[in-house]
Structure 1
């Protein structure tokens, strides 16, 4: 396969996981792992691979929940792989560096592949999706729902996070179905209040006032309740993340 991961991208991630943000990553991973568990209730995978596993935070929670007897990890950053191995996860069989696209396993090696908050960073998304499809029967993907009206006016903000792609639940489903994948289960989620409080009071170092705490709680409750009352369209509007479980389709609709 042609080398698709450019040198500047490799360099950017080489030391990405050496900084001190482990508490933030662990907090987010707790909810990402729960989303994976929720959409995967109908399957019982034995071998699970996480692609773009970062520092292993999600695998930590999946390991604790006995999600699968065998866990594997691929990550483009050596610093991330080192941290994954240092966790000494009970069900982890292997963690290794890969080039961002070519998965170093044979066809149908896994029951499930996880791609959580990775696709928005990928330069050639369909190439990676086809590799996931090659090595597993089921795939679970989670993306942030960055898209809002006028998002093109905030390019500097999102590019600062390395988000070069944006999805709505509808556009992600279209992408996956056009690659010959069937939707099995999905979940829309709001950023939990615990994460918002951490972001405000720990990362941004805002004063921990009662008013601010009440505002965070109120906004969350309003969005949650309006979504429940007004249905899925409104839930999609308010959602901060979308998680979807897909499987290989009996009919291959791949367009290229």
Structure 2
């Protein structure tokens, strides 16, 4: 389940890319399959161990080009251990809503992106997220949970303040918004609820089978109820650091 359009970012062979806050690695795997030199980066040692194993499995299965490279590294998004202007593509997907010092994380993203490089930031969309918060405190009042709700315009302003150009906006995962509203209504840990179980099975079927009906329906619904908003970015040529 991808939130980012990698065609739009031009990810391909020899692209040097980093997925900050990679989690279970869904975006890192896609960039690896496209032939990139990719780093999956996250503070969770267990997640990065799992991602590293999956990188090896993709290689063993012959699913990646021979020249593609990938590794998983553990660290802090506020203190990235990379030189200025290091990456062609920088991704931060569904991470900023977890970080109290989000502007510091954005500044780090800018710092390591090459002049002329591109990136994407995705966060939960404002109004679907507001519904979740209204239905359930449990949804966000957990350790490592969401600390803010973004309006896309406010996030775009934060990105521009460090020197990034916002080149486009998109929405994704419309089918997932009602699922999370339902979970928030019955209890986020209540996975035995029949409606939650049924909807989850629908989402799994959709992801695995990619049927025309649900794929077309989600495309049409994304502008209306897409759960995530993606902002596409560029670091102007001639830029160096955020300072």
Band of TM-score, shorter chain: 0.5 to 0.7
Residue in 2 aligned with 1:58? Answer: 27
User: Residues 216-227 of structure 1 correspond to what in structure 2 (within 5 A)?
Assistant: 221=217, 224=220
SS at match of 1:159: coil
Listed as ranges, the gaps of 5+ residues in structure 2 are 60-67, 184-189, 203-212
TM-score by length of 1: 0.65
Asked whether the equivalents of residues 76 and 97 of structure 1 are also in contact (C-alpha less than 8 Å), the reply is: yes
User: Residues 8-157 of structure 1 correspond to what in structure 2 (within 5 A)?
Assistant: 30-32=1-3, 35-41=4-10, 46-64=15-33, 66=34, 68-87=35-54, 88=56, 89-90=58-59, 91-136=68-113, 137-145=117-125, 146-148=128-130, 151=133, 154-157=136-139
Pick aligned residue for 2:164 from 181, 184, 188 = 181
- Cα deviation per residue 1:187-226 (whole Å; 9 max; x = unaligned)? 1124337x949x98x945526779x97xxx99x959936x
- Cα deviation per residue 1:32-54 (whole Å; 9 max; x = unaligned)? 2xx33254259987100011111
SS at match of 1:157: coil
1:247 aligns with 2:218: no
With a CA cutoff of 8 Å and minimum separation of 6, indicate the structure with the bigger relative contact order. Answer: 2
CA distance change for structure 1 residues 153 and 204 in 2, over 3 Å: closer, same or farther? closer
- Cα deviation per residue 1:139-168 (whole Å; 9 max; x = unaligned)? 211111154379467444222370012112
SS at match of 2:91: strand
Report the number of matched residues. Answer: 206
Asked whether the equivalents of residues 141 and 243 of structure 1 are also in contact (C-alpha less than 8 Å), the reply is: yes
Whole-Å separation in 2 of the counterparts to 1:165 and 1:71: 29
- Cα deviation per residue 1:81-126 (whole Å; 9 max; x = unaligned)? 1011111144343221112311111111110111111010011011
CA distance change for structure 1 residues 180 and 46 in 2, over 3 Å: closer, same or farther? same
| Greater share of residues in helix | 1
Residue in 2 aligned with 1:238? Answer: 225
Asked whether the equivalents of residues 12 and 36 of structure 2 are also in contact (C-alpha less than 8 Å), the reply is: no
TM-score by length of 2: 0.68
Which moved further from structure 2: 132-141 or 151-160?
Answer: 151-160
